[in-house]
Structure 1
Amino acid sequence: MAVLRAYKQALRKELKSRLTALSAAEKQRQSRLLSYKLFKHPKYISSQRIAVFLSMDDEVCTEEIIKDLFKRGKSCFIPRYRTCSSHMDMLKLNSLQDLETLALTSWNIRQPAEDCNSREEALSSGKNVHMCG
């Protein structure tokens, strides 16, 4: 198990250095390409409830995916991390405008407030939710 952990750490370090070397324009190009491939995937097309992570600067940009979800009338769920915990809820995002009203975390990612209980949690309804991002 220690060998696997060391391999994962080395792989993450290598990927981080490769990502750092990419220009902003190249990251945007690759993010757009990945999004368009996702939009054509049969599972994405048939899914009505999709959970997506909000991206940080060094990750694939998920903004186009979120825009497409609302354009297609799909339900979009985003993460809410609990402070000092590994717990995460996937809460329903109501619109692009709704996203803009959410507070920024210390990682510069928008998320619903910890005391917000008015949003649907993805797994609470018993309906399937597919992950992307």
Structure 2
Amino acid sequence: MKKHLRNQLLEKRDSLTESQILEKSSEVFRQLKDCPIYIKSQQVMLYLSFRSEVRTEDIIKDLFQQGKRVFIPLTLPKTRELIISELLDVEKDLEIGNFGVLEPKKEAIRPVDPSILDLIIVPGVGFDQRGYRVGYGGGYYDRFLPKLDPSVPTVAPAFEVQLIDNVPTDSYDFPVQYIVTEDQFIDCKMYR
């Protein structure tokens, strides 16, 4: 069921043109930048966008310009865990890693305890208003997010085409607190 839904959602997202992705990503970022949880944050973990995901390059640039610390996930396929590594230089620190996603090079892995994070920007294929997500099927974030202090805000950037009425959930599925699209900022806690 989820696999079929994931494929449908990916098809929808992949149908966006490159210029639509850039334009909509820019709107998502504009919405995020005005949000108090983003403004107050100092130590932000976010994904490095690939394929048709909401682009995160502008967010990363903005965080660096504001002197905030930037952290990225490193996947461990054997245990399906995420290691959190500090990103210091986009040009020098990264290489193509697991699943074709940019990850830190071996010499640029700077692991940190996730408890220092004060904002987590979460990727996903699709979302409902409650904050439940259809991920890529590895369960990495569903394992990682429950380990964090619940006071740490989790926000998912998404395009409107990624929103659906209801994500089928299992007991291990872990929702995000907020979703930001090119058109709206959703407080998911209001819908649970």
Give the TM-score band, short-chain normalised: 0.7 to 0.9
Q: Against the structure 1 CA distance between its residues 117 and 17, is the aligned structure 2 distance closer, same or farther, given a 3 Å change threshold?
A: closer
Q: 2:16 and 2:73 mapped to 1: Cα distance?
A: 27
2:50 aligned partner: 56
Give the letter aligned to residue 119 of structure 2.
H
The aligned length equals 122
Specify the structure having the higher radius of gyration (Cα). Answer: 1
**Residue correspondence of structure 1 range 114-133 to structure 2 within 5 A:** 116=107, 119-123=110-114, 126-133=115-122
Q: Distance in 2 between matches of 1:67 and 1:122?
A: 23
RMSD: 2.1
Report if the CA contact (8 A) 2:74-2:82 is conserved.
Answer: yes
What corresponds to 1:3 in structure 2?
A: none
TM-score normalised by the chain length of structure 1: 0.79
Matched, 1:41 2:44: no
Secondary structure of 1:61's counterpart equals coil
2:60 is aligned with 1:66 = yes
Question: TM-score scaled to structure 2, two decimals?
Answer: 0.57
Kept after mapping to 2: 8 A contact 1:28/1:61: yes
Where does 1:1-133 land on structure 2 (aligned, <5 Å)?
6=1, 8-97=2-91, 100-113=92-105, 116=107, 119-123=110-114, 126-133=115-122
**C-alpha separation in 2, matches of 1:63 and 1:39:** 13
8 Å contact 1:92–1:122 — kept in the other structure?
Answer: no
CA 118–20 in structure 1, closer or farther in 2 if over 3 Å, else same: closer
1:27 touches 1:60 (CA, 8 Å); kept in 2?
Answer: yes
In structure 2, distance between residues paired with 1:29 and 1:60:
10
CA contact (8 A) 1:52 1:78 kept: yes
Check whether the contact 2:73–2:85 (CA below 8 A) recurs between aligned residues: yes
Structure 2 unmatched ranges of 5 or more: 123-192
